[in-house]
Every structure is written in structure tokens, then in C-alpha cells.
Amino acid sequence: MNSSYYIAYYNGKYVPESDITLSPNDRGFLYGDGIFETMRTVGRRVISYKAHYERLLDGCQRSEIKLSTSLSDIRNIIDDLLIKNKLSDAYVRVTVTRGSGDQFGFGYSKDIKPTLLTVVRPSKIIPDSFYEKGVKIDFQFSSLFNSHEKTGKTKSLSAQSYVLAKQKALDKQCYDMMLMDAFETVYEGTASNIFIIKNGMLLTPPLEAGILAGTTRARVIEIISQKLNLPVAQTTFSKSDALQANEIFLTNTNIQVLPVTQAEKTTISDGKMGGLTENILHTFRQSLIEILE
């Protein structure tokens, strides 16, 4: 379907996307001054909705954006959009900018009203071959993780570093690019969290390292700990550790648990999904009903 046929929610109204006029003074457009959240629905129910909303609200609060739309309000907006667009299994994106003002420059008026835009699309189908054969990743230095002061990340509209890294991954025929600091410590992908299994240990970078608090990451850690009774070490690891790993997998809302079978030029898990990764993916899918809201 052409985007002009989709109905979106824009500042209190349901309108065709083609009818939306973005103000040239909107700070999201001018400065990337805003927060976004992506979600996935199954049967018109949102996966981990409350966790997504809380992350959106936290990002707005930390950015000093006054989001007044409640948990139930946004949930109702999503319901309405799914019905209006005749979708059941969908991708949802909620974008909040600081709003439009008449003053240019980085400073802003304290009484500025945020812009709220919500759009939906049919869920992107991940090919079965990605799970059967796994995907390829690469590694790249990122200045985002080269600071001594690391805090938990918000889903900011200012995402150019991730855009360029993702495109570089695609140019190299990789699924995603893993971002590292100057010491080759691995943190996260451009749109995914990373887990490795090495010598029987499951490792994933900690939130304190400045990574995004992925909702699927949190659910996977819960599944591994509570349903599979296995320990997960939330600790940093190096690129060398990843290349020597027995198994690697990525997580996010859309891919759920995606096996990696090639890292740079190194084959992982004999080029197929590892046994523990398969068990985690199976358990995640089996328990999906528990987190539909």
C-alpha cells in the first residue's frame, strides 16, 4: 500500500499521511530534538506495551519534553490506527518532538507544545532463512561509546551515527553493525542488542555501559534466567570475545531472537543456529502470549 493511503495520528487528529504538513519550525525537523519508540502488534495486541511506553516517557522526561499523553491514550491511538488501516500484525512508530516555535537556535520556550505523530505499517516479515542460516554482522568504532561518562540511552531522533553505521553494514551485505569504543569493547548494534555464548556463559553488555534498554533484551534475560534456569552475565566483552564465541544472537522487537553465524570473516556456530540460541528463540515465541498487552 502506498503511504498516502495510510491513516496516521498527528497532533490530535486522524488524517491520511499525505495530508500531514510538518511545520518548518518543528524542532524535530530542525535539530532532531525529539524521541521515538517502535512497537510491534500481534493480533492487534502490543508486545510489551507498558515497557515501550515507559521507555518513551523516560526519554521525554530526560529530554525535558512535556509529554502529557497517557499510557491508555497512546494505546487507544494504536487501536484506532490498526482498525482504520485494517491491520492486525503491525509495526507501530510513535514520534514525539519538542514542538514548533518561532525562535531559532538551540534554546527553546518552556511553554512549547510537543508534536505527537503515530504511524502504523504491516509487520516486516523476517525471512525464514535468517533463522535457518543466521545472519552476518561486522564491527565499527563509534565515538558514542568513547566517553568516560556513560548513561542509559534514549531513542533520540538524532540518530545519524546509527544511520551511517547501518548503511555501512548493508553496503557490506551484513545484517547489522556492532558498535565499539576505542578499546574494541562491543556495546550494541545500530538497532539491536547483542548476546554471546562463550565457554558455556551467556554475556550481554550492561545498561550501565550506555546501551539502549531494549524491551526484547529484558524479556530474553528473564526467559533465560527464569524459564531456562541459566545465568546471564551483564558485562562488557571485546570484539575478540565475540569472534571466539560459540554462539551469537541479536534481539529487538521485530527480529525477536536472531542467530548470527558470521562475524566479520569468522564463522560462528558452524554456520548454523546454535542449540542454545534455538532453545531461547523457541521459548521466547512460546511465551509471547504472556507479554501481549
pLDDT digits (tens, 9 = 90+) for 220-277: 999 999 999 999 999 999 999 999 999 999 999 999 999 999 999 999 999 999 999 9
User: Span 26-31, mean pLDDT?
Assistant: 94
Residue 249: predicted pLDDT: 99
Task: Indicate whether 148 pLDDT > 70.
Answer: no
Count Cβ atoms below 10 Å from residue 226 Cβ, excluding itself: 10
Q: Rounded distance, CA 229 to CA 279, Å?
A: 12
Task: Indicate whether 154 pLDDT > 80.
Answer: yes
88: cell is 492486525
Q: Read out DSSP for 125-178?
A: PPPHHHHHH-EEEEEEE-GGG--S---PBP-BS--HHHHHHHHHHHHTT-SEEE
CATH of domain 3-122: 3.30.470.10
| Closest to 239 in 3D by CA, of 270, 198, 211, 287 | 198
Q: Rounded distance, CA 84 to CA 89, Å?
A: 14
Task: Indicate whether 1 pLDDT > 90.
Answer: no
Class of the domain covering 128-291? alpha beta
Which residues, other chains included, contact 27 with Cβ-Cβ below 8 Å and sequence gap of 6+?
Answer: 33, 34, 97, 98, 99, 100, 101, 108, 112
Domains of the chain: which residue ranges?
3-122, 128-291
| Closest to 291 in 3D by CA, of 50, 38, 37 | 50
Task: Indicate whether 153 pLDDT > 70.
Answer: yes
